[in-house]
Amino acid sequence: MPFNRPFIVVLLLLIVAVFSFQRWGGEGRGEVRRSRIIMGTVVEITALGEDQDALEAAVNDAFAEMSRIEGLMSPHLPGSDVARLAGPVSSLEVSPDTAAVLTLGLQVARVSGGAFDMTLGRLKELWGVETENPRVPAAGDIAEALQGTGLEALRLDGTRVEKGAVDLAVDLGGIAKGYAVDRAAAVLKNAGIERASINAGGDLRLLGDHQGRPWRIGIQHPRQDQVMLATLALADTAVVTSGDYERFFEKDGRRYHHLFDPRTGYPSAASQSVTVVADSAMLADALATAAFVLGPEAGLALLEQFPGAEGMVVGADGVPHPSPGLKERLSWP
Ligand code: ADP
Ligand code: MG
């Protein structure tokens, strides 16, 4: 029997419906999700809303803002504030963005008793953990790279940076990504977007909730690939995880990672991972790095010094220690 015309029209409508369902289904209705590599990590932005074109434009602007921050704070980009600070200068004018990062970084450095330390640029280069040629340096070289570093080595007066020694290398690797994520969130917010998530390789910022419910954020198990240690239910906040499983190399059966104890110049053995929840990703980022170096007890005590900050420190023995305020948002598998 030949198909009659109404049948074909219905069939065509059905095909169109299935196609658009798949299109929406892939990304979710009224949702734009895009990824780019910025600051050496995959950054994924998801924005929710009705107007697809507006979402698309805002997400592009947010990526552009993060690239601008990378241009100021990457040690590898010539002309960046951090690259210029690595030069043989004792005093230098930096951008307001870099000054804002240094201001909060110096505060976390002080309150953490120096566990957070933005003056370890030479030490980081010496170990080369994140390079093609990581190495366990000689003790003498480590001592040399630590010379002149620490709480007194860096001062800020407005946008003028004073270095304690000309060969001091500033490293914002423990905080800059958080700031970039906050800036991306500000761009999305200014564009009128109320619900979004920005994930820069473990530095996460959430705007609003997820379709009327909290966002569910998995915390990676530090010793089991692809396994979630726990889940957090969160809205309108930042959450950042630092772990020894992210960037490391192994030599003679030992693990050497990228979170240094400024007192020894070696990777800190105090923790396996730290997750921090705070209003800003920049604060959460710095606190996660600092609490990692301090370990469970002193790490949780550090978080208490920052109103609104909560977190969980997984100790060197693998035991998770959540702060009291985090418990209600945590669920275990
Ligand atoms: P990532 O998410 O890139 O792993 P983290 O926030 O965990 O970043 O910080 C790791 C980076 O912080 C290191 O690569 C280094 O640049 C810097 N860093 C390492 N140790 C310290 C420290 N004690 N204080 C401040 N920054 C540090
Ligand atoms: Mg950090």
Encoded tokens for 129: 């953990």
Ligand nearest to the CA of 118: 1
pTM recorded for the entire structure: 0.92
φ/ψ region of 175 (left if φ > 0, alpha if ψ in -120 to 50, else beta) reads alpha
- Alpha carbons 262 and 154: distance in angstroms, whole number: 14
Q: Which atom in ligand 1 lies closest to the alpha carbon of residue 40?
A: 3
Would you tell me the crossing angle of helices 96-111 and 176-190 to the nearest 10 degrees?
A: 130
Instruction: Specify the residue with its C-alpha closest to ligand 1, atom 10.
Output: 174
User: In sequence order, what are the residues at sequence separation of 6 or more whose Cβ sits closer than 8 angstroms to the Cβ of residue 70?
Assistant: 38, 39, 77, 180
Cβ neighbours, 10 Å, residue 54: 15
Choice from 131, 171, 257, 282 to test ligand 1 binding pocket (greatest atom count within 8 A of CB): 171
Is a pLDDT exceeding 70 seen at residue 225?
yes
Measuring CA to CA, how many Å separate 44 from each of 66, 206, 265? 12, 12, 33
Condensed to tens digits (0 to 9), the pLDDT of residues 177-208 reads: 999 999 999 999 999 999 999 999 999 999 99
Ligand nearest to the CA of 284: 2
CB 272 within 8 A of CB 223: yes
Encoded tokens for 99: 């000054």
Is a pLDDT exceeding 50 seen at residue 21?
no
Condensed to tens digits (0 to 9), the pLDDT of residues 28-40 reads: 569 999 999 999 9
Choice from 110, 127, 260, 292 to test ligand 1 binding pocket (greatest atom count within 8 A of CB): 260
Confidence of residue 211 (pLDDT cuts 50, 70, 90): confident
Condensed to tens digits (0 to 9), the pLDDT of residues 86-109 reads: 999 999 999 999 999 999 999 999
Choice from 181, 287, 289, 292 to test ligand 1 binding pocket (greatest atom count within 8 A of CB): 289
Q: Which atom in ligand 1 lies closest to the alpha carbon of residue 293?
A: 23
- CA angle (79 as vertex; 76, 82 as ends), nearest 5: 60
Give ligand 1 pocket residues (Cβ under 6 A). 116-118, 120, 124, 171, 173-174, 177, 201-202, 242, 246-247, 258-260, 262, 285, 288-289, 293
Q: Which atom in ligand 1 lies closest to the alpha carbon of residue 286?
A: 6
Local structure of 60: helix, strand or coil:
helix
Instruction: Specify the residue with its C-alpha closest to ligand 1, atom 5.
Output: 174
Confidence of residue 20 (pLDDT cuts 50, 70, 90): very low
Local structure of 240: helix, strand or coil:
strand
Q: Which atom in ligand 1 lies closest to the alpha carbon of residue 288?
A: 6
- Alpha carbons 39 and 175: distance in angstroms, whole number: 12
Local structure of 3: helix, strand or coil:
coil
CB 179 within 8 A of CB 100: yes
